[in-house]
Amino acid sequence: MKQEDNKEFNAAYDLIHKNSIKIPDKIAFIDDDQTINYSNLSKKVKSFSNQIFKLGLKEKDRIIICMFDCINFPITFLGSIWSNIIPICVNTMLPKQDLEYMLRDSQAKAVICSKDLLEVFIEIKNSLDNETLIISEEGEKVTTNNNKVYDLSFLINSNEYNLNPSQTFESSECFWLYSSGSTGKPKGTIHIHKSLKNTSTYYAKKILKITSEDIFFSAAKLFFAYGLGNALTFPLSIGGTSILSKDRPTVEIVNNKIKHNNVTIFFGVPTLYAAMLNSNLKTEDFKSLRLSVSAGEALPEHLCNKWSKTIGSNVLDGIGSTEMLHIFISNYIDLITPGSSGKPVPGYEVRLMKEDNSEADMNEIGELEVKGPTSAISYWNKPEKTEATFIGDWVKTGDKYTKDANGIYKYCGRSDDMMKVSGQYVSPFEIEEALQSHKYVLEAAVVGKKDKDELLKPKAFVVLNDNNNATNLEKELTAHVKKILTPFKYPRWYEFVSSLPKTATGKIQRYKLRIEK
């Protein structure tokens, strides 16, 4: 362990203490039902910290947080960290079997859940037959089988406080995030205390130029690495205000949140940007925006340009990961290259590696590896996957990229999505980007399919804009792609669909499209 990593530091204290003293009356969070200022946020965090110990939890115990975005989420997340109890943020949209797996895998001693998820966790607890505590907004009550549910409202509103945080260090285990599990069982990704601070220091402050005047709204939810930074860490790091919403981020909801709260920084994903641009946007509804951010999937060039032209403010595309906690390659406010991920964020190093373990040359495709100040330390209880992903200080991302002469990184696709056509690597993303630039196409996903000679060729799944149909469109799309790309890259087959399979973060699940029907 490096000496500088051994500094005493508690991430929750760092995020709320100064603000509660300097700007006690400023609003920290606004959710669908209420607001909370920095003074009351601090009190409720300390109350929760005190009461959670009284329920029998001890330092370094683990606690699952499965809640819709609301003010109680940051209170319980920060209150756990204040106590040196490890919060595990869990996706509220997961099916019961995945939630049960995570409870078993993590060996969490307690679960905090929104009331709409309460019955699911009671069922899980009964099937596990263990002593897991269940805490909910539903309030204290006795359910079937005498399952006691502890009242979250009481825990955060008592008059007893832990005024001082538990002793932790920059390198102490702080919280977990579970990966999406698209290539196997979800992996508990372990992060340390200093990483929360570092996402703000290196990315948000340097790239986004955030200030205390900013009002943040993230379509990505708090249980994602992307959303956790956007809606919790970044605003608290500079005394800003964060807008939270429990609802799925539809076009209408996002428009209203931005308009009625004078949002200055909006965080979205490409799918949402496409849907918003395909709706009847009113430019005046977005007049408060000074900046937008995109991550989750690469943002196509035409969407980047159209958003900036329509809204009147720039959108910065970038790439991050659960393992790195937030964005580590990004476009800059004064350096935007539409259709690219941009350049490494200061403080991070990246490299592109070929299959022979040598570095890729300029404009040559390689697998992206990164190292920097926000890396997770390992996966929980998965030594083989940890060893395969964390190579010394380097983290393998599983993403294919190229780098041009100007040091700009361009996304090509996931390693398992790449295909060789006519002996050459083809990026599904570049074909998708070309297809989506057609006026009739809303979304597209491209996968490899073998032809009658068992040779791999591109197949496109296409979602059309409203009121358009696929009649005689295949030839037109093929001609369109051939004008933009090297001709051999055009799709040999088209399938027109109403939607594409995606993860909860908006990433297209191409592996599902590769399954032959």
* Cβ(200)–Cβ(233) below 8 Å: yes
- Mean pLDDT of the chain, nearest integer: 92
Task: Find the radius of gyration of the CA atoms of the chain.
Answer: 23
402-418: pLDDT as tens digits: 999 999 999 988 887 78
Whether residues 431 and 407 share a domain: the answer is no
**Percent of the chain scored above 70 by pLDDT?**
95
285-343: pLDDT as tens digits: 999 999 999 998 889 999 999 999 999 999 999 999 999 999 999 999 999 999 999 99
Q: Is the model more confident about 345 or about 450?
A: 345
Whether residues 166 and 214 share a domain: the answer is no
Q: What is the CATH number of the domain that holds 45?
A: 3.40.50.980
Beta carbons within 10 angstroms of residue 397's beta carbon: 22
- On the question of pLDDT at 139 being above 60, the answer is no
Whether residues 49 and 114 share a domain: the answer is yes
* pLDDT on residue 142: 45
* pLDDT on residue 509: 84
Q: What is the CATH number of the domain that holds 431?
A: 3.30.300.30
Whether residues 172 and 105 share a domain: the answer is yes
Amino acid at 473: L
* Cβ(46)–Cβ(162) below 8 Å: yes
Supply 391's token pair.
Answer: 């190579």
Residue that is last in its domain, among 389, 414, 439: 414
Whether residues 235 and 153 share a domain: the answer is no
Report yes or no on 362 lying in a domain. no
Helix axes of 473-484 and 428-436: crossing angle, nearest 10 degrees: 120
CB contact set of 471 (below 8 Å; sequence gap of 6+)? none
Q: What is the mean pLDDT of residues 39-52?
A: 98
Report yes or no on 290 lying in a domain. yes
* pLDDT on residue 24: 98
Ramachandran class of 31: left when φ > 0, alpha when ψ lies in -120 to 50, beta otherwise: beta
Q: Which domain holds residue 258?
A: 194-345+399-414
How far is 430 from 279, CA to CA, in rounded Å?
A: 25
Whether residues 185 and 230 share a domain: the answer is no
Whether residues 445 and 315 share a domain: the answer is no
* pLDDT on residue 334: 96
Whether residues 264 and 274 share a domain: the answer is yes
Whether residues 172 and 234 share a domain: the answer is no
Whether residues 42 and 75 share a domain: the answer is yes
* Cβ(59)–Cβ(83) below 8 Å: yes
Q: What is the mean pLDDT of residues 244-267?
A: 97
Alpha-helix residue ranges (DSSP H) falling in 25-71 = 38-54
Q: Considering only CA atoms, which of 373, 313, 323 is closest in space to residue 344? A: 373
Report yes or no on 352 lying in a domain. no
* Cβ(419)–Cβ(476) below 8 Å: no
Report yes or no on 175 lying in a domain. yes
- On the question of pLDDT at 455 being above 80, the answer is no
* Cβ(463)–Cβ(497) below 8 Å: yes
Q: Is the sign of the CA dihedral 10, 233, 399, 219 positive or negative?
A: positive
What are the distances in angstroms from CA 226 to CA 220, 231, 308, 413, 472? 7, 9, 22, 19, 40
* pLDDT on residue 138: 66
Q: What is the mean pLDDT of residues 180-207?
A: 89
* Cβ(208)–Cβ(229) below 8 Å: no
Length of the chain: 517
In 35-140 the beta strands, taken as DSSP E runs, fall at 35-37, 62-66, 86-89, 110-113, 133-136
Q: What is the mean pLDDT of residues 223-229?
A: 96
Q: Residue 264 — pLDDT band, cuts 50, 70, 90?
A: very high
Q: Is 267 helix (H, G, I), strand (E, B) or coil?
A: strand
* pLDDT on residue 505: 65
Ramachandran class of 460: left when φ > 0, alpha when ψ lies in -120 to 50, beta otherwise: beta
In this structure, of 11-20, 34-43, 273-282, the range with the lowest mean pLDDT score is 273-282
What are the distances in angstroms from CA 211 to CA 124, 214, 216, 266, 310? 43, 6, 11, 14, 25
Domain count, the chain: 3
Report yes or no on 378 lying in a domain. no
* pLDDT on residue 146: 57
In this structure, of 119-128, 251-260, 383-392, 499-508, the range with the lowest mean pLDDT score is 499-508
Residue that is last in its domain, among 385, 414, 443: 414
How far is 381 from 383, CA to CA, in rounded Å?
A: 6
* pLDDT on residue 184: 61
Q: Considering only CA atoms, which of 162, 171, 168, 131 is closest in space to residue 148? A: 131
* pLDDT on residue 318: 98
| DSSP-assigned letter for residue 204 | I
Where do we find the tokens 């309030």?
139
Q: Residue 471 — pLDDT band, cuts 50, 70, 90?
A: confident
The DSSP code sequence of 147-193 is -EEEEHHHHHH-S----SPPP-BTTSEEEEEE---TTSS--EEEEEH
- On the question of pLDDT at 140 being above 60, the answer is no
Report yes or no on 7 lying in a domain. yes
* pLDDT on residue 508: 81
Residue that is last in its domain, among 192, 213, 245: 192
Report yes or no on 391 lying in a domain. no
- On the question of pLDDT at 3 being above 60, the answer is no
- On the question of pLDDT at 144 being above 60, the answer is no
Whether residues 143 and 158 share a domain: the answer is yes
Whether residues 239 and 168 share a domain: the answer is no
Phi and psi at residue 177, in whole multiples of 5°? -130, 135
Q: What is the CATH number of the domain that holds 305?
A: 3.40.50.12780
Report yes or no on 17 lying in a domain. yes
Q: Residue 127 — pLDDT band, cuts 50, 70, 90?
A: confident
* pLDDT on residue 180: 66
- On the question of pLDDT at 220 being above 80, the answer is yes
* pLDDT on residue 232: 98
Q: What is the mean pLDDT of residues 34-60?
A: 97
